Structure 1
Amino acid sequence: MAMDAGSDENMRLKRIFEADRSALPPDGGNEFNRLIFATSPYLLQHADNPVDWYEWGDEAFERARTEDRPVFLSIGYATCHWCHVMAHESFGDPEVAAVLNRDFVAIKVDREERPDIDETYMRVAQLMNGSGGWPLNVCLTSEREPFFVATYIPKHSRGGMPGVVEILGRIADVWETRRELIRGNCDAILDSLRRLSAAAPGEIPGEEPLHGARRLLAAMFDGAHGGFGQSPKFPMPLNISFLLRYSRRFGDSGAIAMAVTTLEAIRCGGIFDQIGFGIHRYSVDNRWQIPHFEKMLYDQALVALAAVEAFQCTGRGFLLEMAEEICDFVLRELAAPWGGFYSALDADSEGEEGRYYVWTPAQVRSIVGQLEGELCCRFFNVSEGGNFEGANVLSAPVSPDDFARREGVTVAGLLEKIERWQKLLLAEREGRVRPFRDEKIVTSWNGLMIAALARLYSAGGGKRFIVAAEAALARINRDLRIPGGRLLRSIHRGEGRVAAFLEDYAALLTGVLALYEATLEKRYLDEACSLARDMLRLFSGDGPGLHDTGNDADTVLLRGRQAYDGVIPSGNGLAAAGLVRLGRIVDDEQFTKSGEEIVRAFIAGAGSQPTAHLQTLMALDLLLRPVVEVIIAGGGKGELHAMLSEIGRRFVPGLVLKKEPAGIDGMTASVCAAGACRPRVASPGELGRLLDGIIAEIFPASAAGEYREG
């Protein structure tokens, strides 16, 4: 039955995606609704619902105003499991559709295409319910003012939870008979949103906010299993990146231990795809064993970045290998043919969550052989009873060294076997019905992935990573810019309509700066300056901090400014760090000052809720940190790469890299730090020793050395 369901679903999506839109009327005709003309994969997934969906826009709200109806807004994304569940139970159901079409104007929004809409109403959900999630269902007035919000709603009442038909009926009744209650709700919510959107600028403080974040992260840390908090457990790579910087600044062995322990636990757990690599969205348990199976591009980028930085801090090859595995997954599964990266892989296939990824012992033995199959099952923790609905999510709870010792085999021999098992199982798995791939290319997520690939290359990763990073940037500049240079948020099938947001500009700036640092090519520095100028022009406004939306874009309710980190770092936090770094590289005081002003705008919130503002605190750390300036003069590409690789293997927050023309002595490097410039050196080895000496001089003796290999 699952196979039939999966085949039917694939055929349904194929029919939608390949429909001849030029032959359809504006309302989609008999087979489709208006979403058939959308560019978002998520909206297209709902294009054959019986619900009379609209995209977000004036047409829908004008109809609501004219017909005096409330708006039913549903927000989700293409690889969201519970969005699929509600779509199949309710939005594809004629009974539910009849109620929505009679009493409401229904709007569907892709949160990844329109983060401004999602952010606005997710704040409402947190204000009204104390939490949020997707699908996010909101009832609005025709003025876009919210008065009801809920996440997943079953079609019929169960377990004390009212069903969607019942809820919609109640809302329609209140709309007709007690409109004053709705008006009161709207006013109270808008007042709260205005207060939340008001920044309270302060002076650049000392180090106390950094200590406050460290204390809270320690309180959240799971000492038994790694990670922060209990189930469900997310990778939270910003926590790791912050702790690595804290450790380097203060010589804190506990901070680096939390970071490295978490990465090790993730790599060995079921949240990490043990044969195809890459990170699943989160673990439903507190031991990283059973994941929620979707794979998001931004998770790959941020965890890979954290793993590279942990390698730079510790020298542990295991961490560099982890970053390489994640990035190789992205290159294999998410790379678009003409450059850039797709957004995500679904959790579901053949109508079941996780079906693509799980194994039975019999399947493993049939693929790798009877004798080796037993060993493979023991290594990847595959049992007859299973750990997920009668099958097994693979994990590697015992290190290869310990496992080899326990089994009486050599480590080298075991590693060869593991690599062979992975290839055999992956080849078999690729013959299964694959999860849906969201082929939307999002600017901000690609910016973060470019940064991860460039940093990995700098730290010793292969050339394929820098090639992919450069191709992604070229794709963005070719296909995600409109005439005049304005960035788009995303494209799908070559189409994009939504202007990019602050997070897109700031994340792309982060990626372009990483490309510059990996190559020292002037074109990337020029592009970073252009991005920074456009970002400041488009997103500055009255008051402190940058707006989340451009001054040329529509406003949902309020033109917000926020520095809370979500699933990706906040746009303001990324912008602050990027502007400070860029200003120091090009000696532009205005860029540096702009970055400092962003930190000032949000430092009060960061001080009171530090773990919600870690990207802003990393920008603060950058402002407070001693600058280490490395100037490389002359040299060919090979010599330059050797010098940059020596730098890239070290963790030096506050590093400023510059390039000068060749001098009379050929290729040289000089380092300036702590008020003094050292004599020039002419070889990568000399540069490495010089950097190590400076790190030891300007940072406290760190217990990170206890983790360093060799």
Structure 2
Amino acid sequence: MSERKSNALINEKSPYLLQHAYNPVDWFPWSEEAFEKAKQENKPIFLSIGYSTCHWCHVMAHESFEDQTIADMLNKDFISIKVDREERPDIDHIYMAVCQAMTGQGGWPLTVFLTPEKKPFFAGTYFPRSRKYNRAGMVEVLAQLAGKWREDAERVREVGEQIIQETTARLLEHQSGGELTEETLHEAFRLYESSFDPEFGGFGSAPKFPTSHNLSFLLRYHKKTGNGRALEMVEKTLDAMHRGGMYDHIGYGFSRYSVDSQWLVPHFEKMLYDNALLLMTYVEAYQVTGKAKYAEVAEQIITYVLRDMTDVGGAFYSAEDADSEGEEGKFYVWTPDEVELVLGIEEGDLFSELFDITESGNFEGHNIPNLIQTTLASFAKRKQIPLDQLKQRMEEARTKLFEHREKRIHPGKDDKILTAWNGLMIAALSKAARALDQPAFAEAATKAADFLLRELRREDGRLLARYRDGEAAFPGYVDDYAFLVWGLIELYETTFELRYLREAVQLNAEMLRLFGDEEKGGLFFYGSDAEQLLTRPKEIYDGAMPSGNAAAALNMQRLAKLTYDAKLSQAADEQLLAFAGAVASYPPGHSLMLSALDFAYSEASEIVIAGDPAKPETQHMLRAVQRQFLPNALLILHPPGAAGEEVRKLIPLVQDKLPLGGRATAYVCHNFVCQAPTQDLEDLENLFTIQ
């Protein structure tokens, strides 16, 4: 048997591109070499965009890209280019907008046909090998488009030019007109309420995505207004997501989304960014409600991330696949017989009854463990088992099932390290460390931040987007800067290591220089020093992840108030104005920008703890603040001596706030009014009515 022949993807670092390195298709990475070849041979481009843990990307690869007939057609009539959307979100954003404009929908795999000048003339998502599901097949599409190119390439070029002009106009239309006021926050709440699912939580119908930044906004709205309905919607959704099959009850962590309305059947891939964002929201829900169940879920997410998604250097991997052994979800599902084999008859029957594991199954003849129909408390009551005893027994059972599951063939893991997604996890771990009083979580965040700041910057300081196998590459996008700055601000407020705040200020300034639009405001998605594509879009809509522009708006609000930087304060205001029209036209699509707006209208509180961090009294004061839900407060430690001098240089507001009589002293200011300094812990806690 002859060895398989590799294509040009064999030299890439992306796990997604390497998955296709032995296809019979003559793939190229996105490169000038590929486009030059297309021009020389006068061939159109077949552009395929996906990511390594994408189920339908795997299906299309197996059906078409491993098929010799399809490969021969591509190799004869096209130049084929593969792009990892997570490495090159700039390319993905532009051509996804094209697909959505042309077809009314988008998704991955993304399939786009381009002229050699990179201009799109046909687009779609998944195509089967041959016509089915009422979809045109690859054989049919390739034959037709190759024919059109041969017949009249110039006409095809004209179509491509028209499409890119229309797409550019759409991408650059970010609706700066209009005004954002506090009424925008109320309108957002009303729209969230109107789309809320009162039975299963979440918003809209299936498929349901966690979009935890929506819930985080509602927690802020509840804090601001006292509106109990906002909190009710958050709790209903968090409880339902956790009880459903979208949560991995055996190994922890959340899948990407649920294909049904009750959160039962997930799209089984696990993404770092989802787990980071959900971790933040469960932590905040714990701070707001004091309910231990939210802290427990938060700690379980962290257990999963530190166990399965952490590189030896301390940074975090990107994702785990939905598929193993060619089947979606195979790693995660169970039968009653398998549970009984692991746990024995009595415990197996108890576990299966609790977690809805039946002979008929709830997913393609198998079972996804879930608690949709019951809770531990109600089940314990019905079975007349003390709740604590049931919890202990089910935890012992879960551990055994987890150890058994570990012997299965695991889904693939995308072990590349993305700056943006790591920034979100650093922010989440920092919040968790504060709220849950867990220094180990802060240590994990610190290791990841140090890794990014060390390994994902060029010598000139330019932030890079991706690290894998010893190589950092691709000039960072606005998300990389905005999410890392977010993480560093949160890390400072957890550890009070001033270097993280300095890095945040420096990276924020660099972001404004590289991405800022001096004419119309806002931030472009990719930098002025990066490869210039057909257009420079600005992202403002919050999808599975919040937009970099929204994160930047919130970061700039916080940094401006910390550093008393008038120019940055103006930039923060301009960032809100730049997208006012878009946000006002549909507030629920811009939840993180709403949180930035809430910050702007809430007159952030400043809490300075002046004292020696080595002394228990100082730590007690810091902890009293950190465990509270104070989303619009700034917490600063002002230590004595040389360290305090360094703090004063960066954060002028601490200038006259010193420990009185050598004892830890708290200074709380809100809405330009400062309370009397206090050294009494109870007095400090009573001041938390400030917001």
> Paired residue for 1:342?
317
Paired residues in the alignment total 667
- Secondary structure in 2 matching 1:122: helix
> Paired residue for 1:474?
450
CA distance in 2, matches of 1:579, 1:675: 19
> Paired residue for 1:111?
85
CA distance in 1, matches of 2:119, 2:190: 39
2:351 is aligned with 1:376? yes
CA distance in 2, matches of 1:515, 1:481: 19
Deviation at 1:616, TM superposition (A): 1.7
Pick from 152, 169, 185 the counterpart of residue 126 of structure 2: 152
- Secondary structure in 2 matching 1:75: strand
> Paired residue for 1:3?
none
Change (3 A) 1:233 1:205: closer
Deviation at 1:639, TM superposition (A): 4.3
Matched-pair contact (CA < 8 Å) for 2:613–2:639: no
CA distance in 1, matches of 2:410, 2:576: 44
Deviation at 1:34, TM superposition (A): 0.3
Pick from 417, 431, 440 the counterpart of residue 464 of structure 1: 440
CA distance in 1, matches of 2:487, 2:138: 43
Pick from 666, 670, 690 the counterpart of residue 669 of structure 1: 666
Q: Which moved more, 1:443-452 or 1:148-157?
A: 148-157
Where does 1:590-605 land on structure 2 (aligned, <5 Å)? 590-605=567-582
Change (3 A) 1:344 1:640: farther
Give, as a single letter, the amino acid of the residue that structure 1 aligns with 2:362: N
Deviation at 1:676, TM superposition (A): 2.4
Cα deviations by residue, 1:345-373 (Å, 9 ceiling, x for unpaired): 00011111111111111111121221111
Pick from 169, 178, 195 the counterpart of residue 220 of structure 1: 195
Matched-pair contact (CA < 8 Å) for 1:585–1:657: no
Cα deviations by residue, 1:137-168 (Å, 9 ceiling, x for unpaired): 00011111111111111111124322101101
- Secondary structure in 2 matching 1:496: strand
> Paired residue for 2:138?
164
Change (3 A) 1:635 1:203: farther
2:609 is aligned with 1:649? no
Where does 1:566-605 land on structure 2 (aligned, <5 Å)? 566-605=543-582
Cα deviations by residue, 1:672-707 (Å, 9 ceiling, x for unpaired): 11442122222544322221x324xxxxxxxxxxxx
CA distance in 2, matches of 1:685, 1:331: 36
Give, as a single letter, the amino acid of the residue that structure 2 aligns with 1:144: K
CA distance in 1, matches of 2:126, 2:92: 15
Matched-pair contact (CA < 8 Å) for 2:609–2:622: no
> Paired residue for 1:285?
260
CA distance in 2, matches of 1:375, 1:683: 51
2:35 is aligned with 1:35? no
Give, as a single letter, the amino acid of the residue that structure 2 aligns with 1:168: L
Matched-pair contact (CA < 8 Å) for 1:404–1:414: yes
> Paired residue for 2:425?
449
Where does 1:450-599 land on structure 2 (aligned, <5 Å)? 450-543=426-519, 544-599=521-576
> Paired residue for 2:273?
298
> Paired residue for 1:76?
50
CA distance in 1, matches of 2:437, 2:30: 43
> Paired residue for 2:31?
57
Change (3 A) 1:564 1:463: same
Deviation at 1:184, TM superposition (A): 4.1
Deviation at 1:115, TM superposition (A): 0.4
Deviation at 1:179, TM superposition (A): 3.5
Cα deviations by residue, 1:101-129 (Å, 9 ceiling, x for unpaired): 11001000000000000111111111111
- Secondary structure in 1 matching 2:533: coil
Change (3 A) 1:102 1:606: same
CA distance in 2, matches of 1:219, 1:188: 39
> Paired residue for 2:63?
89
Give, as a single letter, the amino acid of the residue that structure 2 aligns with 1:366: L
Deviation at 1:461, TM superposition (A): 4.4
Deviation at 1:611, TM superposition (A): 2.1
Where does 1:250-289 land on structure 2 (aligned, <5 Å)? 250-289=225-264
CA distance in 2, matches of 1:313, 1:165: 56
> Paired residue for 1:703?
none
Structure 2 residues without counterparts, runs of 5 or longer:
641-658
Deviation at 1:220, TM superposition (A): 1.6
Deviation at 1:653, TM superposition (A): 2.3
Deviation at 1:648, TM superposition (A): 2.3
CA distance in 1, matches of 2:24, 2:104: 32
Q: Which moved more, 1:516-525 or 1:427-436?
A: 516-525
Matched-pair contact (CA < 8 Å) for 1:39–1:496: no
> Paired residue for 2:593?
616
Matched-pair contact (CA < 8 Å) for 2:211–2:543: no
> Paired residue for 1:430?
406
Change (3 A) 1:65 1:542: farther
2:288 is aligned with 1:313? yes
CA distance in 1, matches of 2:556, 2:6: 46
> Paired residue for 1:15?
none
- Secondary structure in 2 matching 1:355: coil
Change (3 A) 1:92 1:639: farther
Give, as a single letter, the amino acid of the residue that structure 1 aligns with 2:283: V
Q: Given the two structures, how large is their TM-score scaled by the length of structure 2?
A: 0.94
Deviation at 1:203, TM superposition (A): 6.0
Pick from 226, 232, 248 the counterpart of residue 223 of structure 2: 248
Matched-pair contact (CA < 8 Å) for 1:519–1:641: no
- Secondary structure in 1 matching 2:553: helix
Deviation at 1:538, TM superposition (A): 1.3
> Paired residue for 2:376?
400
Give, as a single letter, the amino acid of the residue that structure 2 aligns with 1:635: D
Where does 1:662-701 land on structure 2 (aligned, <5 Å)? 662=640, 663=659, 664-691=661-688, 693-695=689-691
> Paired residue for 1:5?
none
Matched-pair contact (CA < 8 Å) for 2:211–2:545: no
Cα deviations by residue, 1:417-461 (Å, 9 ceiling, x for unpaired): 121111111111111111111000000000000000000011014
Give, as a single letter, the amino acid of the residue that structure 2 aligns with 1:126: Q
Give, as a single letter, the amino acid of the residue that structure 1 aligns with 2:74: L
> Paired residue for 2:643?
none
Cα deviations by residue, 1:243-270 (Å, 9 ceiling, x for unpaired): 1111122221111111111000011110
2:44 is aligned with 1:66? no
Matched-pair contact (CA < 8 Å) for 1:274–1:396: no
CA distance in 2, matches of 1:680, 1:666: 12
